[in-house]
Every structure is written in structure tokens, then in C-alpha cells.
Amino acid sequence: MGAVQRKLTMFTQANYLPREPCDRSKAYSWDAKPKVDASNYTVENAVDTTVTKCSGNVNGQQFVIRNCHNASLYILDHINSVTIDDCVNCNIVLGPTQGSVFLRNCNNVRLASACQQLRARDCSAVDSWLCCSTQPSIESCSEMRFGSVLGGALLGRQAAGQQHGFRTGHEGSAGPAVVFEYMGTNCRETCQQVAARLTSGTHYISPQEPETTKKQIEAAFNTTQGMFS
């Protein structure tokens, strides 16, 4: 018992020894990361208006668009990924997107995007001009229509913006081409089969001033809108 008591005493005394103070001057990699203000990369509750983000405003961050109505949204910078939720009657144009574009619970939306993949869920009446490197994923959607968007057809192709260009592994036709219209409960399977056959090309951001770029985009929508009527 004596040996056990001595060990317990030594253990207890060791627990009460003063601890060395923490060195708060040490720098860690996670401390060095710049703070990101999410509000700079969010468009929310835009109604009856036009919102434009030009080159240098996003710089490869994730972007969120939600609860917008009767709005035209032009995100003309390179982007990491985009989430679009609860939008109604909107024109949405996205710059080259490294990851996926998520489209959820949207109605009567016209979308132009160059991205790795389009993922749509619970949407209806969506016209999409795409330049995708992988097959889109479509769940519980109806009235989905698809066309292709190529370099220079939607956004101005300027040398200053090509450093952030998005290129797929395919080269396609010289202009937008509507390939499919479908309405019904089987849209998940059928739309994916057709969307996978979209012609693709190269899509560049436009570094021009906002009004010029806006006119380019509006002209492209007006030109192709009749194909979806």
C-alpha cells in the first residue's frame, strides 16, 4: 500500500504543477487566410432590377443567388460554384464556373452558363444555354429546354479576360442551337439523355464596362428567344 500511496501522491502533485504559458505569437495557416464577407458574393431579394458583377468582383469565390423575381443577374467573373434558389422570371448569366451550378426551386428562368455540371432540382420552365464538360443532373423538373452557348455568342471575347477562360474538351457549332424541349414527369431521364448531346465550345468572361456587356447579353437573349417560343 505504501508504494501505491507514493505513486498517487506523485501523480496528484504533478497535476498541480504550474503550466507553461501558451505562445500566442505563433502563426497558423488558417489564421493567415483572408476573411471572406459572404454578402459580397450573394445576390438576394433582387426584384425588378438588374445586378451586374464584373471582372474582379468575384475572383473565384462561391456565389449564391436566391429569392430573386423579375430580375436580370449578370455575374461576369470566374466563379468556384453557384447556387441559385427560389428565383422566378429571371435572366441569369454566369461567367466561367469551375464547379457545379445548382438550380433549385426556380420557375421561368433563362440561364446561360459555362460550368463543370448543371444540377437542377424541383424546377419548371427553365431555358438553359450551356457549355458543360459533364452530363447535367436533373431531378423532379418539368418544361426544361436546352441550347448551347459558345465563345463570342453570348459574352464578348477579349484578350484581357482570357486568363480566366473556361474550356471544355469539345468544340462545337458556330452558334446557339436549341436541341430539345420536354414537358412531363419523365424529364429526369429524358432531359439528361438529350442534354448530354449538347454541342459545346469555349466561353470567356467579358472585361468590358457593365453597360456594354449588358447590351451584348440582352442582344444574345433577344436573338435566341424566338427559338424557345
Alpha carbon distance 115, 101 (integer Å) = 7
Alpha carbon distance 219, 213 (integer Å) = 10
- How would you label 182-208 residue by residue, b for 16+ Cβ within 10 Å and e otherwise? beeeebbeebbebbeebbbbbbbbbbb
Cβ distance 100 to 81 under 8 Å? Answer: yes
Which residue positions form the known binding site for GTP? Answer: 99-100, 116-119
Q: What is the pLDDT of residue 202?
A: 33
49 alpha-carbon distance from chain centroid? 20
**59-89 tens-digit pLDDT:** 889 999 999 999 999 887 788 899 999 999 9
Partner residues linked to 127 by β-bridges: 110, 145
Q: What is the pLDDT of residue 227?
A: 41
**99-155 tens-digit pLDDT:** 899 999 999 999 988 888 899 999 999 988 887 767 788 888 888 887 776 544 334
Closest of 198, 159, 152 to residue 175, by C-alpha: 152
| Model pTM above 0.85 | no
**Percent above pLDDT 70 for the chain:** 49
42 alpha-carbon distance from chain centroid? 11
Range list of β-strands (E), 68-197: 72-75, 82-85, 88-94, 100-104, 107-115, 117-121, 124-132, 137-139, 142-148, 166-167, 178-182
Most confident of 45-59, 123-137, 154-168, 198-212: 45-59
Name the band, by pLDDT with cuts 50, 70 and 90, for residue 7: low
Q: What is the pLDDT of residue 207?
A: 41
Section 39-49 average pLDDT: 94
Q: Which CATH number fits domain 36-228: 3.40.190.10, 3.40.50.740, 3.30.70.270, 2.160.20.70?
A: 2.160.20.70
Alpha carbon distance 43, 123 (integer Å) = 19
Which residue positions form the known binding site? Answer: 99-100, 116-119
Section 24-45 average pLDDT: 77
Q: What is the pLDDT of residue 206?
A: 41
**176-194 tens-digit pLDDT:** 333 333 445 555 555 555 4
Cβ distance 61 to 36 under 8 Å? Answer: yes
